[in-house]
């Protein structure tokens, strides 16, 4: 079949030697590549693309350089010379040896890395739709654990790199977007499609350049940029759209209406009270399924468009995206609109300017979904609502659940109140923008001045109508502003001497400030619901407004030297000094040095005979990093304003809040050593990475709980030391090449924490649980043990009345605080991820498995539904079938009685191990070359499913927990079926 071959218009600059050049572009397997951009270097407007057979035709001058580029492949330049036929082979990018990895304040070739850095690329980040880009890190890199504690739309994720060091402070890594260290935790401003790559810096030699913010690791996010500097390329347009349906993954097996009545009659019988229901009533009771009523199927939709291109001197990238997610609980949703642009322009040989800006608007609709008890929060009311009651009363109003039966909890609220009569909507506008000027006085030196701003304005709106149970209408608006400004001056020097000594150096000074402010207004008592929160002035009872302002600053000096000898011996040293306004003058400055050495063994002469080894590198590193306290003014004791009343008037009152300041606070520092190995065989078809690390955190900041008789609840102290050590293994295998391709990447990581030292050797109790039937602290930090352990009583069967007995561990004849012990461990033995991607002809099939093993969950969610018999709540059906009776003394649940003897005990500890099929996807790449459409280069359609399969023994909704391992009536995580399309033009 003969089709016209595209032709590049003549190169008018050199008319003397016009020639027609033809050729075929293939990949390494010899397959013809259609749609490859071909153009004359420096003339981006004159490009063409290869035809479906990979062929191209160009009429150009003999001296021309042709540039071939194709997404996912390294671009290639060919000087034509006198050739008439130029065939080109493009290498797929994953296999390109000269891959570059972004590190702090610069980048290096992957092969020259001395530290432990993992890279996650656009294809992985974009593998399936997520509402938070960090979700896509889950399971992708060894030692990186992503915690999604809630299934609510637009969730904040929590990321742990090599375990958690800090008790008080954030254990979130530092996020650096295009060189700007973000002040907040999650980079929610970005859409997955905006991201070119994420680099995860793990060891201290990589993170120490971020000094006091490096202890939890650093995630460097690079957004998509235009073509390659100095080359230019054809304009590329990428479009993606997908649509998914989310459903609740699992329902809990609760009692029916008649079972409910039978259950409470049983309680009455056990307590010697008249039965609440007659048999006739029981027979006629309805069974209403509150879970079916509240949970729904909900769509998630996302669309993005990215355009990139440019010429030799100017490159640009523009992207826009819309994400709309509805939650599986009505009224919860998340919408994100974002627009991103970047431009680089070379003013002259010495001067380059570049700018990036991202604008986002996030609208989050929340439904009360965490914590609570006895039906006073949404999830607890869904679980606790009597199944013998329907949501509406005879008049069509919301049924008052609290006095429907005499046994009902006084606090239970009909969930429809939250669903229909309360709106919580946060509207956030985010800007992240930076601009830099780079000056090259001579070719070896690069001086860069970068300024940037991060700004987040969010407005939280709340309105509760006057139809909400017991409400006269309530409105509240809180406007927050978070702002961070950055000025950074860095200089780079690169020099190679005698082709043996490769030397580069970096020095810089940076200043960043962080400003938070807020203003809040609210009112109660609205005669009409029409205006919602938009008419605070219409409140019968205007409430007192509030505002606040915090500012802190960070001034830093940094330096780094890289030296490579003979491409075999690689050295890196770095240093950063951070001065923080959060500490008093004498402890203000922290110093963070690091050093690393790598030996590329495969480069040695004695390895020459071992051709099968393509890469072997040994790495060791050491360094110090810090953690900054989150509080802006931790050494002062601020007094909070309030009121009291004398006569009929308000009078101002000022008193401290709950934290007792510690005037002697100092930096928390983490010292880390790392030893690693990179090993590639068979031309890197199999690449293996292993790391061992040990992190020791000293002067650990902690909120030490104080006895309540002090009036203060906590104080911050540099109390102790924690160590995290572990092993991380990663494997990347190209099992099959050719028509049937199969790539597998896998990783596994083992981390162990140990509390080495605590203030005065004393235990630190934490995570106070305050539910009606069980109230106590439930975690402990104790010297010699792992961090975050669950602590409480051990159960010992039942007494002769069927009440729970506890083990008297200290043998003093009574059950007291001293009988508590470690009852569970939320830290997994190991975490892992496995990604398999196969392709055959036009089909791609991928699946991605992720999981953790050996961790415990504290299931506080089940407390209300399994032992809180006092308040007429619905229970899981198992309680009815498996409770204590004289005939069944070893039952799972205690006697059904008004007296409940529950404590923080091993009853609530469950194995939280899970293996999850995070994503499974089948894609079909349409043979666009056959359509003969010049403008369409690629078109892929796919179907996929997220969380379709989860293997776990965990009894409640979902085993994915916040890092504390505590399940406390959180919003259930959904499974999703997705259909999507990706196109390139």
For position 774 contacting other proteins by CB under 8 A, the verdict is yes
Q: Considering the complex, what minimum distance in angstroms separates the CB of residue 817 from other proteins? A: 6
- The residue from 903, 907, 937, 938 that contacts other proteins (CB under 8 A) is 903
- The residue from 688, 712, 736, 845 that contacts other proteins (CB under 8 A) is 712
Please provide the distance, in angstroms rounded to a whole number, between the alpha carbons at the two ends of the chain: 24
Beta strands per DSSP E along 953-973: 966-967
- The residue from 455, 772, 888, 940 that contacts other proteins (CB under 8 A) is 772
CB nearer other proteins, residue 493 or residue 765: 765
How would you classify the pairing of strands 218-223 and 195-201?
antiparallel
CB nearer other proteins, residue 486 or residue 973: 486
- The residue from 449, 541, 735, 951 that contacts other proteins (CB under 8 A) is 541
Alpha-carbon distance of 415 to 769, in angstroms, equals 23
CB nearer other proteins, residue 9 or residue 410: 410
Please answer whether residues 21 and 60 qualify as being in contact, where contact means their C-beta atoms are separated by less than 8 angstroms: yes
CB nearer other proteins, residue 420 or residue 714: 714
For position 650 contacting other proteins by CB under 8 A, the verdict is yes
Structure token digits, residue 250: 């699992």
Q: Considering the complex, what minimum distance in angstroms separates the CB of residue 633 from other proteins? A: 5
Site string for other proteins, 603-642 (x = CB under 8 A): -----------------------------xx--xxxx-xx
- Taking CB under 8 A as the binding criterion, the range among 260-268, 346-354, 771-779, 853-861 that sits at the site for other proteins is 771-779
Alpha-carbon distance of 436 to 347, in angstroms, equals 13
- The residue from 4, 770, 887, 890 that contacts other proteins (CB under 8 A) is 770
- The residue from 7, 524, 614, 684 that contacts other proteins (CB under 8 A) is 524
Alpha-carbon distance of 943 to 955, in angstroms, equals 30
Structure token digits, residue 505: 């150096």
Q: Considering the complex, what minimum distance in angstroms separates the CB of residue 636 from other proteins? A: 5
Q: Considering the complex, what minimum distance in angstroms separates the CB of residue 330 from other proteins? A: 25
- Taking CB under 8 A as the binding criterion, the range among 213-221, 415-423, 538-546, 906-914 that sits at the site for other proteins is 538-546
Q: Considering the complex, what minimum distance in angstroms separates the CB of residue 861 from other proteins? A: 17
Site for other proteins in 423-482 (CB under 8 A): 469-472
Site for other proteins in 871-900 (CB under 8 A): 871, 899-900
CB nearer other proteins, residue 295 or residue 575: 575
How would you classify the pairing of strands 18-27 and 88-90?
parallel
For position 768 contacting other proteins by CB under 8 A, the verdict is yes
> 104 CB contacts (<8 Å, ≥6 apart)?
176, 201, 206, 207, 209, 210, 218, 220
150-170 burial: b if 16+ Cβ within 10 Å, else e: bbbbbbbbbbbbbbbbbbbbb
Site for other proteins in 370-409 (CB under 8 A): 406, 409
CB nearer other proteins, residue 15 or residue 709: 709
Q: Considering the complex, what minimum distance in angstroms separates the CB of residue 969 from other proteins? A: 17
For position 496 contacting other proteins by CB under 8 A, the verdict is no
Alpha-carbon distance of 6 to 23, in angstroms, equals 11
CA distances from 702 to 665, 714, 763 (A): 10, 9, 12
For position 843 contacting other proteins by CB under 8 A, the verdict is no
- The residue from 553, 603, 853, 925 that contacts other proteins (CB under 8 A) is 553
**Among candidates 237, 226, 225, 230, which has minimal Cα distance to 310?**
226
Site for other proteins in 129-188 (CB under 8 A): none
Alpha-carbon distance of 565 to 599, in angstroms, equals 10
- The residue from 654, 800, 886, 890 that contacts other proteins (CB under 8 A) is 654
- The residue from 816, 882, 932, 953 that contacts other proteins (CB under 8 A) is 816
**What does DSSP assign to residue 150?**
-
Alpha-carbon distance of 345 to 768, in angstroms, equals 56
For position 706 contacting other proteins by CB under 8 A, the verdict is yes
Q: Considering the complex, what minimum distance in angstroms separates the CB of residue 472 from other proteins? A: 6
- The residue from 32, 363, 437, 543 that contacts other proteins (CB under 8 A) is 543
CA distances from 537 to 237, 255, 543 (A): 50, 47, 10
Please answer whether residues 373 and 772 qualify as being in contact, where contact means their C-beta atoms are separated by less than 8 angstroms: yes
Structure token digits, residue 162: 């090599």
**Among candidates 60, 115, 65, 165, which has minimal Cα distance to 701?**
165
Any idea of the CA torsion for 186, 187, 189, 191, to the nearest 10 degrees?
Answer: -110
How would you classify the pairing of strands 659-660 and 649-656?
unpaired
CB nearer other proteins, residue 176 or residue 771: 771
Q: Considering the complex, what minimum distance in angstroms separates the CB of residue 313 from other proteins? A: 37
Residues in contact with other proteins, total (CB under 8 A)? 77
CB nearer other proteins, residue 548 or residue 927: 548
Please answer whether residues 448 and 489 qualify as being in contact, where contact means their C-beta atoms are separated by less than 8 angstroms: yes
SS3 string of 252-278? CCECCHHHHHHHHHHHHHHHCCCCCCC
Residue 841: count of CB within 10 angstroms of its CB:
10
CA distances from 326 to 125, 293, 298, 981 (A): 21, 16, 5, 20
Alpha-carbon distance of 954 to 912, in angstroms, equals 6
CB nearer other proteins, residue 288 or residue 468: 468
Site for other proteins in 775-794 (CB under 8 A): 775-777
Please answer whether residues 824 and 786 qualify as being in contact, where contact means their C-beta atoms are separated by less than 8 angstroms: no
Q: Considering the complex, what minimum distance in angstroms separates the CB of residue 812 from other proteins? A: 12
- The residue from 652, 761, 886, 887 that contacts other proteins (CB under 8 A) is 652
CB nearer other proteins, residue 79 or residue 651: 651
Q: Considering the complex, what minimum distance in angstroms separates the CB of residue 624 from other proteins? A: 20
- The residue from 14, 278, 817, 881 that contacts other proteins (CB under 8 A) is 817
Alpha-carbon distance of 186 to 459, in angstroms, equals 18
For position 45 contacting other proteins by CB under 8 A, the verdict is no
- The residue from 465, 901, 963, 966 that contacts other proteins (CB under 8 A) is 901
- The residue from 647, 761, 811, 886 that contacts other proteins (CB under 8 A) is 647
Please answer whether residues 145 and 852 qualify as being in contact, where contact means their C-beta atoms are separated by less than 8 angstroms: yes
Alpha-carbon distance of 188 to 173, in angstroms, equals 14
**Among candidates 980, 905, 915, which has minimal Cα distance to 942?**
980
Query: What are the beta bridge partners of residue 325?
Result: 300, 334
Say which residue the tokens 């907040």 belong to: 184
For position 708 contacting other proteins by CB under 8 A, the verdict is yes
891-920 burial: b if 16+ Cβ within 10 Å, else e: bebbbbbeebbbbbbbbbbbbbbbbbbbbb
Q: Considering the complex, what minimum distance in angstroms separates the CB of residue 27 from other proteins? A: 54
Site for other proteins in 725-754 (CB under 8 A): none
CB nearer other proteins, residue 222 or residue 580: 580
CB nearer other proteins, residue 347 or residue 762: 762
Q: Considering the complex, what minimum distance in angstroms separates the CB of residue 585 from other proteins? A: 8
- The residue from 271, 351, 549, 740 that contacts other proteins (CB under 8 A) is 549
CB nearer other proteins, residue 123 or residue 550: 550
Site for other proteins in 558-587 (CB under 8 A): 579-582
For position 22 contacting other proteins by CB under 8 A, the verdict is no
- Taking CB under 8 A as the binding criterion, the range among 284-292, 313-321, 551-559, 798-806 that sits at the site for other proteins is 551-559
For position 278 contacting other proteins by CB under 8 A, the verdict is no
H helices present in 385-467, as ranges: 416-421
Alpha-carbon distance of 958 to 966, in angstroms, equals 12
For position 555 contacting other proteins by CB under 8 A, the verdict is yes
Say which residue the tokens 């399994």 belong to: 866
């Amino acid at each position: 079949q003969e089709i016209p071959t595209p032709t590049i218009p003549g190169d008018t600059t050199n008319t003397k030697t016009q020639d027609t050049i033809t050729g075929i572009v293939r990949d390494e397997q010899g397959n013809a590549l259609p749609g490859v951009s071909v153009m004359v270097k420096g003339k981006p407007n004159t490009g063409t693309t290869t035809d479906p057979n990979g062929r191209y035709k160009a009429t150009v001058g003999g001296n021309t350089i042709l540039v071939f580029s194709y997404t996912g492949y390294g671009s290639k330049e060919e000087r034509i010379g006198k050739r008439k036929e130029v065939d080109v082979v493009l290498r797929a990018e994953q296999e390109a040896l000269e891959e570059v990895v972004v590190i702090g304040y610069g980048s290096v070739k992957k092969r020259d890395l001395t530290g432990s850095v993992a890279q996650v690329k656009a294809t992985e980040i974009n593998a399936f739709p997520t509402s938070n880009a960090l979700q896509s890190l889950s399971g992708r890199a060894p030692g990186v654990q992503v915690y999604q504690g809630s299934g609510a739309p637009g969730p904040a994720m929590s990321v742990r790199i090599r375990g958690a060091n800090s008790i008080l402070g954030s254990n979130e890594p530092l996020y650096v977007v295009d060189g700007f260290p973000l002040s907040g935790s999650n980079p929610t401003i970005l859409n997955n499609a905006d991201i070119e790559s994420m680099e995860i810096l793990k060891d201290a030699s990589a993170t120490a350049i971020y000094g006091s913010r490096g202890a939890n690791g650093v995630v460097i996010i690079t957004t998509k940029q235009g073509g390659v500097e100095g080359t230019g390329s054809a304009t590329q347009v990428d479009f993606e759209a997908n649509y998914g349906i989310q459903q609740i993954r699992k329902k809990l097996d609760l009692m029916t209406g008649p079972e409910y009545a039978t259950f409470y009659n049983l309680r009455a019988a056990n307590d010697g009270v008249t039965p609440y229901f007659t048999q006739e009533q029981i027979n006629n009771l309805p069974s209403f399924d509150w879970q079916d009523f509240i949970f729904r199927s909900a769509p998630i939709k996302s669309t993005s468009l990215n355009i990139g291109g440019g010429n030799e001197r100017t490159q640009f990238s523009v992207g826009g995206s819309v994400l709309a997610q509805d939650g599986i609980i009505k009224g919860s949703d998340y919408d994100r609109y974002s627009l991103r642009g970047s431009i680089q322009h070379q003013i002259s040989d010495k001067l380059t300017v570049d700018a990036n800006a991202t604008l986002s608007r996030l609208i989050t609709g929340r439904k009360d979904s965490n914590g609570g008890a006895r039906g006073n929060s949404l999830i607890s009311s869904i679980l606790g609502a009597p199944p013998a009651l329907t949501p509406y009363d005879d008049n069509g109003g919301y049924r008052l659940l609290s006095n429907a039966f005499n046994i009902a909890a006084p606090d239970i609220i009909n969930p429809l109140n939250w669903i229909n009569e309360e709106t919580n909507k946060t509207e956030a506008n985010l800007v992240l923008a930076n601009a830099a000027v780079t000056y090259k006085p001579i070719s070896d030196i690069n001086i860069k001045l970068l300024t940037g701003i991060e700004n987040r304005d969010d407005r939280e709106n709340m309105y509760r109508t006057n139809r909400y149970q017991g409400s006269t209408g309530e409105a509240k608006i809180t406007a927050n502003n978070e702002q961070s400004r950055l000025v950074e001056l860095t200089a780079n020097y690169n020099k190679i001497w005698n082709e043996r000594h490769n030397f580069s150096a970096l020095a810089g000074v940076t200043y960043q400030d962080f400003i938070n402010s807020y203003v809040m207004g609210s009112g109660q008592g609205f005669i009409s619901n029409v205006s919602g929160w938009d008419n605070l002035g219409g409140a019968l009872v205007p409430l007192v407004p509030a505002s606040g302002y915090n500012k802190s600053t960070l001034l830093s000096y940094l330096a780094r030297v890289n030296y490579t000898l003979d491409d075999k011996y690689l050295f890196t040293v770095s240093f950063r000094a951070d001065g923080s306004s959060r500490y008093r003058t004498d402890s203000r400055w922290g110093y963070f040095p690091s050093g690393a050495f790598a030996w590329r063994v495969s480069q040695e002469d004695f390895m020459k005979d071992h051709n099968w080894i393509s890469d072997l590198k040994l790495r060791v590193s050491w360094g110090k990093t810090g953690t900054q306290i989150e509080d802006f003014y931790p050494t002062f004791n601020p007094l909070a304003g309030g009121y009291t009343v004398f006569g009929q008037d308000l009078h101002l009152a000022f008193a401290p809040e709950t934290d007792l300041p510690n005037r002697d606070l100092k930096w928390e520092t983490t010292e880390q050593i790392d030893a690693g190995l990179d090993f590639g065989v068979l031309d890197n078809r199999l690449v293996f990475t292993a790391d061992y690390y040990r992190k020791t955190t000293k002067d650990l900041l902690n909120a030490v709980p104080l006895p309540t008789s002090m009036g203060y609840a906590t104080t911050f102290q540099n109390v102790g030391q924690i160590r995290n050590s572990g092993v991380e293994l990663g494997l990347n295998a190209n099992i099959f090449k050719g028509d049937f391709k199969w790539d597998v990447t896998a990783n596994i990581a083992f981390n162990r924490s140990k509390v080495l030292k605590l203030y005065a050797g004393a235990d630190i109790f934490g995570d106070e649980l305050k539910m009606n039937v069980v109230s106590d602290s439930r975690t402990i930090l104790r010297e010699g043990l792992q961090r975050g352990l669950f602590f409480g009583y051990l159960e010992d069967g039942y007494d002769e009345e069927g009440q729970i007995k506890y083990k008297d561990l200290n043998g003093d004849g009574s059950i007291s605080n001293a009988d508590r012990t470690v009852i569970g461990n939320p830290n997994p033995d190991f975490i892992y991820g496995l990604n398999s991607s196969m392709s055959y002809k036009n089909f791609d099939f991928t699946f991605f498995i992720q999981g953790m093993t050996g961790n415990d969950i504290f299931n506080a969610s089940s407390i209300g539904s399994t032992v809180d018999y006092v308040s007429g709540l619905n229970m899981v059906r198992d309680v009815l079938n498996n409770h204590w009776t004289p005939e069944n003394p070893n039952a799972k649940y205690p006697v059904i009685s008004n007296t409940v003897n529950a404590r923080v005990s091993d009853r609530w500890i469950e194995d939280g191990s899970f293996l999850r099929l995070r994503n499974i996807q089948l894609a079909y790449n349409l043979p666009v070359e056959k359509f003969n459409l010049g403008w369409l280069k690629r078109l892929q359609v796919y179907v996929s499913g997220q969380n379709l399969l989860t293997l776990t023994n965990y009894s409640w909704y979902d085993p994915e927990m916040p890092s504390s391992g505590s399940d406390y009536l959180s919003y259930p995580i959904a499974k999703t079926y997705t259909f999507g399309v990706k196109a390139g033009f």
